[in-house]
Structure 1
Amino acid sequence: MDRLTNTIRPYAWGSTTAIPELIGVAPTGEPQAEMWMGAHPGAPSRLDRGAGESALSDVIAADPEGELGVAAVRKFGPRLPFLFKVLAAGAPLSLQVHPDLAQAKAGFEDEERRDVPIDAPHRNYKDANHKPELVCALTPFEGLSGFRPPLEAAALLEGLGVNSLKPYADLLRAHPEEAALREVLTAVLTADRAEMARTVTEAAAAAERLGGAYAPYAGLVHHYPGDPGVIAAMLLNHVQLQPGEAMFLGAGIPHAYLDGLGVELMANSDNVLRCGLTPKHVDVPELLKVTLFEPGDPGILRPEGNGEEVYETPIDEFRLSRFVLAAGGAPRVLPDGTAQILLCTAGSPKANSPKSGELALTPGESVFVPAGEKVELSGTGTVFRATVVV
């Protein structure tokens, strides 16, 4: 069991205060968007087993079966298949979709064949893996997830009273649901940029005036003026999570995080196809290939179980659970068959193992537990556990 040193990524959309408040340090004044915990090559966590600090990715590469467990290596290969994060959105993230595993493999192989540089701004597939993800709120958390029913989206657009939005509302009412959503998203993203910028400006002014259900979209335009993603966002479900609630985002589901602090757990991939709310490359034809145009309830996950509270998802590469520890409670014994990362988000819990002794944790601190090491949690506070399903 090893205490981790983690990298905080300073993306422009990050909150300047949320992560410093969690870990108990003074803000720097710069945005702090994500704290990465894991072995992703972009920013692997670091640990020290007595011979100086090493990257977790190197530690795993030196003994995959010893660190991850035989069953996990057999199923996922000699790598940690997930990336665990603390995410702090102070401004909206890009509206985006992730491919499924087959799409990711085909897209990556195609771009490799065409010699598209891996760091090219127009490259879509950075690797051959899918990127399902789960976000769990630590504070009230706001986002967008999945398509609204087309008639609901049509009513929302019509309510703005913007003439240039009427054709989109008419399309949403005139076609079968999936065809309508595909046609309207395509039209929004391929419209003349100058005309769309005027539409976005008018829509944002109307949204600000109307408030209520329109308030989230009025805020988008302040960060992304003229961006067609502002209109595309109105096709999606607006989701508000309370602390402890989560949402799962599978392949093909358009989504965006708007505001709040949460923990995020995802498959270890960088594959993102953007729809809008970004200055980055938007590949509309590729986006339309991977997007699921299925309206529905985005669903809010709440943890299930006593002791270890599990957020159930249909993914094996990661599994998120939570322990809420109370004073005087019995120690919680963790399963030891696979590697795990433990993250403290509140209180002053302790992690103890016969091999490594006791580690006292404070909010924002995390530990890596290799497969086969028995660990107990005690004390008071909240600990999230990230592992895999074998």
Structure 2
Amino acid sequence: MLIFIENTPRAYAWGSTDALPDMLGTTPTGEPQAELWLGTHPGSPAHVAKATPVQRTLIDLVESDPERYGVDGGPLPFLLKVLAIGAPLSLQVHPDREQAAAGFAAEEAAGVPRDARERNYCDPTHKPELLVALSEVTALSGFRDLAAAREDLLLLAAAARELGHPEGAEGFERAGCRLVGRDAGELRRAFLTWAFSRDPRIVDALSCLFDVLRAAEAGAIGFWERALEEGTIDPDRLASLRALAAAHPSDPGVLVSLLLHLVRLAPGEAIFLGAGQIHAYLGGVAVEVMASSDNVLRAGLTQKHVDIDELCRIVDTGELADPRFPAERLDHGLLAWRPDVPEFQLMRARLREADAEAGTGYSDAEAAVRIDLPARGPVVLVVTAGKVRIERPEAHPAEVASVRRGQSVYVSAGEPICITGHGEVFLASVGAESDGTALR
């Protein structure tokens, strides 16, 4: 079955006011709209579009015929999202399978309500996730070289001293000194603990940080201008710090951000976030797929609950060589991102009309006239550009759906599907090595 699905965007404070309405073809409400969830996660299950007078969720559909609509007789193990990031998300990590199961069981046994602010583990499932940029996306992702972070802290110290903030300068210097030693992993863990300890030096550094960055932007710090010209200072890093300090002026997460890679993803580039990898999305529009979980442990840049001790217990303190995750070219017009997890993979199909004129859309090199895919297991797809036709010609009777930008379809397990038209489609299914029910 080809079943149109829809959902109401999640109205988190970090969302954009117009990006999701633009994609969905709806009128902006003036409120931030952050995430569109397309799956069976109980926190916000998608529902069958315009099916009956009574709303029927995708959970209801799976429960009506688990073998036909579910995976291994249960709900979908993956969750597809569209993100519209208008402001930075919290710094966060996700647990692995064992940590999630143990943490959830412990909080259940302790009687912590599942909707309690201090709850760390909402479910017993891990949450690896993959993000593919639709627009330019900026993110903090994984730990970078300690020497580079220390150099930035010492530059801030010199700038604070030049502006007449000796206490702030001492705070930056002390932070930099904490990144010197043999065991990089333990240094990072200790820095996280210290940053959230309310040490007066951290408070002093944060109190002058925005003034330092504003003065640097105005050209009031002579050596800083020279450093920019020489390439010693990364202007993107400065812009990131300014945005974070403006949004969270006293939050230690602003300084923690200096320990992380700052990534600028072009449309079509991706990052994969495995267990324990600290990260924060800062801006842009993207498609994301993850294991169907909502387990998040936060490390600042938020008004929500921060449990730094638990975060430090599960965070991966190793250095990440390259945050970007490469795509595989499976066929003409077809890319796939396949991390080593069984719950999900993500594909991007680009289509063009056979008689499309040159210059009117995707080039021959990046788009196909027709893409055929098996669908041995369930598939959730969303059209992010143009309009495409999804067909199941071998079904009895044959099935067809015309899907425009912003619309989503659930494809039940069964016969192969054929995609034509002119546009871009993202398709999520179980992982390629899961159990033979993968999309391809």
TM-score (norm 1): 0.94
1:51 Cα offset (Å): 4.9
Measured in 2, the distance between the counterparts of 1:298 and 1:58 equals 41
Equivalent position SS for 1:39: coil
The one-letter code of the counterpart of 2:289 is L
Q: 1:293 aligns with which of 305, 317, 320?
A: 317
Equivalence for 1:325: 351
Question: Cα distance 1:48–1:184, how it changes in 2: closer, same or farther (>3 A)?
Answer: closer
**1:334 pairs with 360, 368, 373, which one?**
373
Residue deviations 1:33-86, cap 9 Å, x none?
Answer: 011111111111111595554100111122111113xxx41xxx6110111110
Tell whether 2:271 aligns with 1:247: yes
Question: Compared with structure 1, are the counterparts of its residues 50 and 159 closer, same or farther at alpha carbon in structure 2 (3 Å cutoff)?
Answer: closer
CA contact (8 A) 1:237 1:297 kept: no
Structure-2 residue corresponding to 1:135? 131
Aligned counterpart for 2:388 among listed residues 314, 326, 349: 349
Task: Determine if the alignment matches structure 1 residue 206 to structure 2 residue 212.
Answer: yes
* Aligned-partner SS, 1:227: coil
1:180-227 C-alpha deviation (Å, 9 max, x unpaired) = 1111111101224x7644422312332344351322011112211211
* Residue 313 (structure 1) aligned with residue 339 (structure 2): yes
Once residues 297 and 48 of structure 1 are traced to their aligned partners in structure 2, the CA distance between those partners, rounded to angstroms, is: 43
Structure 2 counterparts to residues 148-167 of structure 1, below 5 A: 148-161=144-157, 162-167=169-174
Q: Deviations over 1:4-58 (max 9, x none)?
A: 1212111111001111222233322111101111111111111159555410011
Residue 259 of structure 2 aligns with which residue? 235
Letter in 2 for 1:234: L
**Letter matched to residue 142 of structure 1:** T
Secondary structure of 2:196's counterpart equals helix
Q: What is the rounded CA distance, in whole Å, between the counterparts of 1:219 and 1:292 in structure 2?
A: 26
Which residue of 2 is the match for residue 65 of structure 1?
A: 67
> Match of 1:110, SS?
helix
Work out which of the residue numbers 194, 197, 209 in structure 2 matches 1:190.
197
Q: SS of 1:8's equivalent?
A: coil
Tell me if structure 2 keeps the 8 A contact 1:84–1:266: yes
The residue aligned with 1:270 is: 294
User: Within the alignment, does 1:258 sit opposite 2:264 as a pair?
Assistant: no
Take 1:235 and 1:63, find their aligned partners in 2: how far apart are those partners? 48
Per the alignment, do residues 226 and 48 of structure 1 end up closer, same or farther by CA in structure 2, a change over 3 Å counting? Answer: closer
C-alpha distance in 1, partners of 2:51/2:80? 25
Q: Which moved more, 1:259-268 or 1:46-55?
A: 46-55
SS at match of 1:91: coil
For residues 29 and 82 of structure 2, the distance between their equivalents in structure 1, rounded to whole angstroms, comes to: 17
Paired residue secondary structure (1:173): coil
Please list the CA deviations of residues 286-325 of structure 1 after superposition, one character each: whole Å capped at 9, or x if unmatched: 1111001111224312422123310121111011010011
**Matching residue of 2:82:** 86
- Which whole-Å CA distance do the structure 2 matches of 1:114 and 1:138 have between them? 42
Aligned mates of 1:377, 1:81 — CA distance in 2: 24
Give matches, 1:21-32, under 5 Å: 21-32=22-33
Question: Aligned to 1:380, what secondary structure does the other structure show?
Answer: strand
CA distance in 2 between partners of 1:48 and 1:262 (Å): 23
- CA distance, structure 1, for counterparts of residue 424 and residue 342 of structure 2: 24
> Are the counterparts in 1 of residues 170 and 201 from structure 2 also a CA contact under 8 Å?
no
Q: What is the CA-CA distance between 1:269 and the residue it aligns to?
A: 0.8
Q: Does 1:15 align with 2:16?
A: yes
1:315 partner SS: coil
SS at match of 1:85: strand
The count of corresponding residues between Structure 1 and Structure 2 is 383
- Relative to structure 1, the CA distance from residue 284 to residue 299 in structure 2 (aligned partners, 3 Å threshold; closer, same or farther) is closer
Q: Does 1:115 align with 2:111?
A: yes
Bigger Rg, structure 1 or 2: 2
| Contact in 1 for aligned 2:171/2:204 (Cα 8 Å) | no
Secondary structure at the residue paired with 1:335? strand
Aligned residue for 2:424, secondary structure, equals: strand
Structure 2 residue 249 is matched with structure 1 residue 219: no
Q: 1-side partners of 2:184 and 2:90: how far apart?
A: 25
Q: Percent identity?
A: 41
Deviation at 1:163, TM superposition (A): 2.1
Gaps (5+ residues) in structure 2? Answer: 158-168, 218-234, 355-367, 436-440
Q: Work out the CA distance in 1 between the residues paired with 2:30 and 2:49.
A: 30
Matched to 2:348, the amino acid is: R
User: Take 1:247 and 1:343, find their aligned partners in 2: how far apart are those partners?
Assistant: 19
Distance 1:154 1:350 in 2: 53
Distance 1:49 1:31 in 2: 25
Task: Give the corresponding residue for 1:358.
Answer: 400
How far off its partner does 1:326 sit? Answer: 1.6
Secondary structure of the corresponding residue to residue 9 of structure 2: strand
Q: Whole-Å Cα distance in 2 between the matches of residues 47 and 311 of structure 1?
A: 27
Question: In the aligned structure 1, how far is the partner of 2:51 from the partner of 2:186?
Answer: 60
Secondary structure, counterpart of 2:374 in structure 1? coil
2:223: which partner in 1? none
State the TM-score, normalized to the length of structure 2.
Answer: 0.84
Residue 140 of structure 1: CA displacement? 0.3
RMSD: 1.7
